[in-house]
Amino acid sequence: LHLVVSTPTHYFTVDVEEYFQVSAFENVVSRTDWLRYPSRVEQNVEHLLKVLARYDVRATFFILGSVARRNPHVVRAIAGAGHEIASHGWSHARVTRLTPAEFRADVRRAKRTLEGVAGTPVIGYRAPSFSITRDNDWALDVLIEEGYRYDSSLVPVRRPGYGYAGGDPDAHWIGRAAGRLYELPPATLGLGRLRLPAGGGAYFRLLPSGIVRAAFHECERRGVSGTFYLHPWELDPDQPRMAVPWWTRLRHYGGLRRSDTRLDRLLQEFHFGPIADSPALQ
């Protein structure tokens, strides 16, 4: 008996960076001090790989080039477990703060380093803090010219500092002067005329868990795949605490102790795979 499964496979994605490299800390942690903080990315990734293996889920890992250079064995462990290696750029600088030439150098260096370390082609990119907006979408042309085939950076909502207002919430092809690029926005939830970010990260930890799950159920009703995202440090409640204002503390540390339980439930409820397996990219 062959069972036909009609529910789409969603995309499980991970942004691999250290707990101290996040944009929320960019005013308290200088890039030149990165080597002074204790690294936790290896143990955090190991933990996440175990969780994914328990559910037999393969995922897409958007890895910082600078993390790959410092921790090549982490990249090899991810690739060795059957996951897709993709690029989170090199320096974790927001694209909104880079010139086109700086952005090109950043994504080129990350792609080359990751491909060299993993020994696999890298075709996907996600911007730090989803920072491709309508004002800097020249970045999409640069990605195409640098050999990327898909992007997962356009959040179809208007937010301070990011967001691609009015963008298509489902995966779609984007035609640009330089060619075309498959775009996979993080999942959002439509509520009347509102569209709420609900694809992962702080929303996954801080909002009632039903909101993220409702976003993926909404995708299934439309027959489309949704994109979920998480950072390895979001499963690490014991990470060192930084001296930051209360709203940054809430956003970064809130819900860390429940994210493992929530992740278990999500992986039980939905079927996930890596973006490279998407039918559109075959």
Smaller CB separation from Zn ion, 15 or 106: 15
Indicate which single residue of 65, 124, 128, 200 sits in contact with Zn ion (rule: CB under 5 A): 128
Region binding Zn ion by CB under 5 A among candidate stretches 8-16, 30-38, 158-166, 259-267: 8-16
Indicate which single residue of 8, 13, 14, 15 sits in contact with Zn ion (rule: CB under 5 A): 15
Smaller CB separation from Zn ion, 17 or 183: 17
Indicate whether 201 belongs to the interface with Zn ion (CB under 5 A): no
AA letter at 227 = T
Indicate whether 218 belongs to the interface with Zn ion (CB under 5 A): no
Secondary structure (3-state) at 114? helix
- Four-residue CA torsion sign, 229, 152, 68, 76: positive
Smaller CB separation from Zn ion, 15 or 183: 15
Smaller CB separation from Zn ion, 106 or 218: 106
**How many Å from the N-terminal Cα to the C-terminal Cα in the chain?**
28
- In the complex, residue closest to Zn ion by CB: 15
Indicate whether 183 belongs to the interface with Zn ion (CB under 5 A): no
Spell out the residues 6+ positions from residue 185 whose beta carbon is closer than 8 angstroms to its own.
152, 154, 155, 156, 164, 167, 168, 169, 170, 171, 199, 227
Query: Do 104 and 87 meet the contact criterion of CB atoms below 8 Å apart?
Result: no
Secondary structure (3-state) at 194? strand
Footprint of Zn ion on this chain (CB under 5 A)?
15, 17, 128
